Each structure stands twice: as C-alpha cells, then as structure tokens.
Amino acid sequence: MVMLDILTKKYSRDIYHGTNMQKNDYSFGDIIVAHFDHGVRDNSLEDALFVKTIAKDVYHIWYISEKGNLGHTASEGQAREARYGFLRAAAEKYGGQIYTAHHLDDLVETVIINLLRGTGWRGLACLDMQGVYRPFLEAIDIYEPMDKATILEYAAKRGLRFREDQSNSEMKYFRNRVRERLGEYSLEWEEKMELWNLWRRQKELKHEIDSIIRQMLPSRGEKWQRKWFRELDSDEGGRKVALELLRAGLLEAGVKMTRPQLEDFRQAILTSRPGKYFNLPKGRMVRLEKDEFII
C-alpha cells in the first residue's frame, strides 16, 4: 500500500482529463495493480477484495488478478514461482515492468537465509531479477532505502489502510523462523545500511561476472570440451569458474541446478567413463563422450 501510494503520486496521470470522464472510468495510465491469490489461506479472498477496492475506489487505477489453487501445503518456492509466473505474464501482456515492495528487512532476511543454505557468493546478490524493480531497496523515487519501521511510519502519517498476511506468523516457514530470531537482535539502521551497500556492490560484480561468463560459453548446440574442466581443476579459482560456466550454460538451456548439483555435474565431467549419462533436473540427461558433451 505504501509503494502504491508513492508510485501513484509520482507516475499516475490525471484520468479526469476530459469533460466526459466519470469517476468509474478507468485508464491504464502508468500503473496497473496486479494481485495474485495463491489459494493457500482460507481468507485470501478478503485480501483480493481489499486490494481491488483500494486500487479502484481510492486511486482510480486499473486492477487485474488471478487465483491459484496451491493449497495449504504449498512451499514458499512454489508460491513464488506461481506468483512471478502471473506477474511476468501480466508485464508482457501490458508492456510494463514489475514493481514489488521488498524492503531493507527483507534483504537482511534473504541474505541470512541464503548463507544458512550455503548458496555461495551469489547469496549476497539476492533480490535481483531481470525486469523486477524494488523501489524500497533500489531507492527508486525515494530518498533512501526503507525498512519495515519506516514503511509503517509512512502509512501511519498518511492514514493508509493495509492488511497483514496471516502466514507471516506461521513458524512452518523458514523465513518466519529467521525473522523471529532476527527480532531478538534488533539490528541498527547503520548495520542494515552496511549490508545494503555490500548488496549493491555484489550485484554489480555479479552482472560483470555474468557478462564475462556469457562471452566464454560455447554457442547453443556447440560441443563442450571435457579438457576445459580438467584444466580448470588445478586450483579453487578455476573450479569456481567451471561451476559458473556450467550454471550459465544450463540456464541458457532452461535448466536450473543448485550449487551441490553443479558440483556433482563437474565431478562427472572430470571422472565419468565415455558413454555415461548425467541426469539433469526434470528428466533431462547429458551424454558424456570421451572428449566432449553437448548441453
């Protein structure tokens, strides 16, 4: 609700620009409110109706929605995949960009979760998806990043109504357990900003590394040489480069693998006999010939 208030003040054009415009005549303007109901909570319809009412009756802007049916047992990952599937389809249909309300405390939680899960250096370059903008983190149209306390203060000063997601208090979700523990430490603003600055720099480095790796990749359908990986196996830096190459090549082929899975693949390239297959996610396989293979 705070993000919507800030962006409408910044971007929404006056829809009452003609003498024939009535209160209930909506224009796409610059902003579309897109709401996804995951179908996880019994009262999620109330959230959808609330967002629709705010969008249409308070801001007079377009509202679109979709309802999933993930059920009570859906994981955070399943919910995220379904939500972004809807948002990306909407952005493509209407020629727009996705804006989400992730804030400074979300960043702290996500970095900690990634480090606990052992995701490597990319764990600090999180919340960085192509075509997705986060004004509270990237300081788009605001003076500096905002944490939850600052957002709540903004809402209180402007009398904004909002709803709290009930699932935020359910300890079955790993993020909520991390959030509860973080609450015991009460990070200072300066500490959050230190992490924010590290995040910004890490994102820049990630983009630089990704650009270099893309230039090193074989063309689509071109053979990969197993000797590359033997040559890169001489030190830790070379092994990291090998993992980055595999990660990028697989992503181009539509395959996403975890760091342990990538390491298993690298080891298979180094040691497997000719003619052996390596299993990729979603039932795909790579045949490792004596000197080469194709992803």
Q: Is residue 147 within 8 Å of residue 189, measured between CB atoms?
A: yes
**Residue at 32: amino acid letter:** I
Task: Looking at the structure, tell me whether residues 44 and 62 fall in a common domain.
Answer: yes
Contacts of 142 (CB under 8 A, 6+ apart): 6, 135, 136
Neighbours of 131 (CB within 10 A): 12
pLDDT score of 205 more than 50: yes
| 158 and 87 fall within a common domain | no
Mean pLDDT value across the chain: 86
Provide the whole-model pTM: 0.79
User: Cα(64)–Cα(48) distance, rounded to whole angstroms?
Assistant: 10
CATH number of the CATH domain containing 115 = 3.40.50.620
Query: Domain of 228: which CATH number?
Result: 3.30.465
Tell whether 107 and 205 lie within a shared domain: yes
Total of domains in the chain: 3
Task: Tell me: pLDDT of 42 over 90.
Answer: no
Instruction: Say yes or no to pLDDT of 290 above 50.
Output: yes
Same domain, 212 and 109: yes
State the virtual CA torsion across 76, 171, 39, 26 in degrees, nearest 10: -80
Do the bridges between strand 285-288 and strand 98-99 make them parallel or antiparallel, or are there none, so unpaired?
Answer: unpaired
Task: Examine the pLDDT at 59 and tell me if it is beyond 50.
Answer: yes
- DSSP string covering 150-200: HHHHHHHHHT------GGGG-TTSHHHHHHHHHHHH---HHHHHHHHHHHH
**131 φ, ψ (degrees, to nearest 5):** 80, 5
Indicate the residue type of 262: L
Residue pointed to by tokens 């071109």: 222
Same domain, 112 and 211: yes
Rounded to the nearest 10 degrees, the angle between the axes of helix 104-117 and helix 189-216 is: 60
**pLDDT 10s digits, 250-270:** 998 889 898 889 999 999 999
Say whether pLDDT at 22 is over 60: no
Looking at residues 129-138, what average pLDDT do you find? 92
Which class for 21: exposed (0-12), middle (13-18), buried (19 or more C-beta within 10 A)?
middle
Q: Domain containing 212: what range? A: 100-216
Same domain, 48 and 138: no
Question: And the tokens for 108?
Answer: 């702290």
The one-letter amino acid code at 195 reads: L
Last residue of a domain, one of 216, 247, 275: 216
Asked which of 160, 193, 216 is the last residue of a domain, the reply is 216
Q: What is the pLDDT of residue 29?
A: 58
The dihedral of CA 131, 136, 140, 144: what is its sign? negative
Q: Is residue 24 within 8 Å of 68, Cβ to Cβ?
A: no
Q: Are residues 93 and 2 in the same domain?
A: yes
Output DSSP code: residue 235. S
Please identify, among 50, 76, 97, the residue that sits at the C-terminal boundary of a domain: 97
Q: How many CB atoms lie within 10 A of CB 166?
A: 12
* DSSP tag of 142: S
| Pair 210, 184 in one domain | yes
Query: What residue spans of the chain are helical by DSSP H?
Result: 2-11, 44-53, 76-94, 104-117, 135-138, 148-158, 174-185, 189-216, 226-231, 236-252, 259-271
Same domain, 80 and 59: yes
Using one digit for the tens of pLDDT, what is the confidence trace for 158-185?
Answer: 999 999 876 666 666 667 777 777 766 7
> Do residues 107 and 211 both lie within one domain?
yes
Of residues 51 and 30, the one with the higher pLDDT is 51
pLDDT grade, residue 118 (50/70/90)? confident
How many whole angstroms separate alpha carbon 243 and alpha carbon 216? 13
Closest by CA position to 103, among listed 139, 153, 75: 139
For the chain, what is the radius of gyration of the CA atoms? 23
Shared domain check, 185 and 163:
yes
